[in-house]
Amino acid sequence: MTQPYRIEPDLDFVRDVIGSGGDTLKKCFQCATCSVVCPLSPPEEPFPRKEMIQAQWGLKDKLVKDPDIWLCHNCNDCSTYCPRGAKPGDVMNALRKKAIEHYAAPQAIAKRVGDPKSLPLLIAIPAILIAVLIGLTNLWWHGEGPTRVVHGETIVLDESIRSWEMIPMWTVDVLFILTGLFAVSVFARGVLRFWGDMDSARTRKMGFIPAAIEVVKEIAFHSNFKECGTNQDRYLGHLGVFYGFVALFITTSCIFAGVYFLNLIVHVPLTPWPLWNPVKLLGNLGGISLLVGLFLIIRNRLNQEGDETASSYYDWFLLGMVITVGASGMLAEIVRWMGIGFLYYILYYIHLVAVWSLFAYTPYSKLAHIVYRTTALIHNRACGRELLAKVPVVCMTEGQETQAS
């Protein structure tokens, strides 16, 4: 005989999900169309049908720990074919926001990142911090910038416009390293808790490393995004942003190594590099890839507004933050080539503020899906639960036959 399960609805959680973009939640009447048309939903415990009913019941404890909300790649096939307009894709997006708030610490920051009223404060924190840092370092620091040792003689690197005249490079690096360590610690705490919650629900059949290798290959090619039937534009946009970040990370790492290892320790004069240097070329190509990918994502969202899905403030906060990082960095480089010093310093300051925000707020923003989705995919693969593309299914929407991939 089936054991009874005591349900304790959290009505505040239901209201939070509705307020976070899942306002169509109550329209779901459990027809299972969403799980049938989803190209990734596994036959065992398919999503998002069960998440829809659990969200209606306010089962917060089950949902914030549910790895399936991360296995969803938000392609919105489910929302496109939902006969009731319940928009399961938007509900799953709202559930991911609540899960990030649950695992991030302190939770107060996560709630502010998702609250449009807190945007001025979130911008003011790095703006004031970096402005104070610039003021303090300029009071006592009077160095001439990076140097090289050539034939035993120390020479100052000379450029028409030098960012270290505004703030020393090492000061920026120390600030960003500390901020990055803070973000990593927040993620580490959240992922360990999330992994423990998943392990208590399912038994692993494969080791962590083999599962992680398979998932990394999947992410590298964005295989799951390609399974989307109605929103293929997301594939190219996300691929451009992903590899843009990868290229910029490699470029930043090379420059960091060049400044603090090659120049200062080994005394090999390799930085700053000219425009045609492979590292510089990679960085510029990464910036272009990032901006093009963002353009495709934004165009896709604007085309779908008011249709089968809708963008929330939480979506636009992330997009705005990444756009500011990419655009300010590219524009600062352009005006530096043009020799417009005053404008360069303004853009460089904006870029520093934007990059700090990206580092500090990533564990609380939608960008955290990079970590939590990867963790869920690894655990899912380790448990032998595959995300498999389904054969084409014929659906009926508003009386018309539609082919769903």
pLDDT in tens, 253-278: 888 887 777 666 555 555 566 778 88
224/304 same-domain check:
yes
What percentage of the chain carries pLDDT values higher than 70?
80
Distances (CA, A) of 273 to 112, 251, 269, 279: 40, 11, 9, 8
On the question of pLDDT at 396 being above 60, the answer is no
Position 38 in a domain: yes
Position 36 in a domain: yes
342/294 same-domain check:
yes
Q: Domain with 36 in it: what CATH number? A: 1.10.1060.10
Position 1 in a domain: no
Position 28 in a domain: yes
315/396 same-domain check:
no
- pLDDT for position 359: 95
210/300 same-domain check:
yes
158/76: higher pLDDT: 76
269/332 same-domain check:
yes
Domain that residue 167 falls in? 107-382
Mean pLDDT across the stretch 299-305? 75
23/34 same-domain check:
yes
Mean pLDDT across the stretch 58-81? 91
Mean pLDDT across the stretch 178-193? 96
Q: What is the mean pLDDT of the chain?
A: 83
On the question of pLDDT at 165 being above 80, the answer is no
- pLDDT for position 393: 42
Q: State the total domains in the chain.
A: 2
320/229 same-domain check:
yes
Residue recorded with tokens 């390609």: 226
59/187 same-domain check:
no
On the question of pLDDT at 45 being above 70, the answer is yes
Mean pLDDT across the stretch 34-63? 92
99/185 same-domain check:
no
Position 2 in a domain: no
- pLDDT for position 306: 53
Position 233 in a domain: yes
147/85: higher pLDDT: 85
Position 224 in a domain: yes
On the question of pLDDT at 139 being above 90, the answer is no
Confidence of residue 30 (pLDDT cuts 50, 70, 90): very high
Give the predicted TM-score (pTM) of the model. Answer: 0.84
Position 4 in a domain: no
On the question of pLDDT at 398 being above 50, the answer is no
Contact 311, 87 (CB under 8 A): no
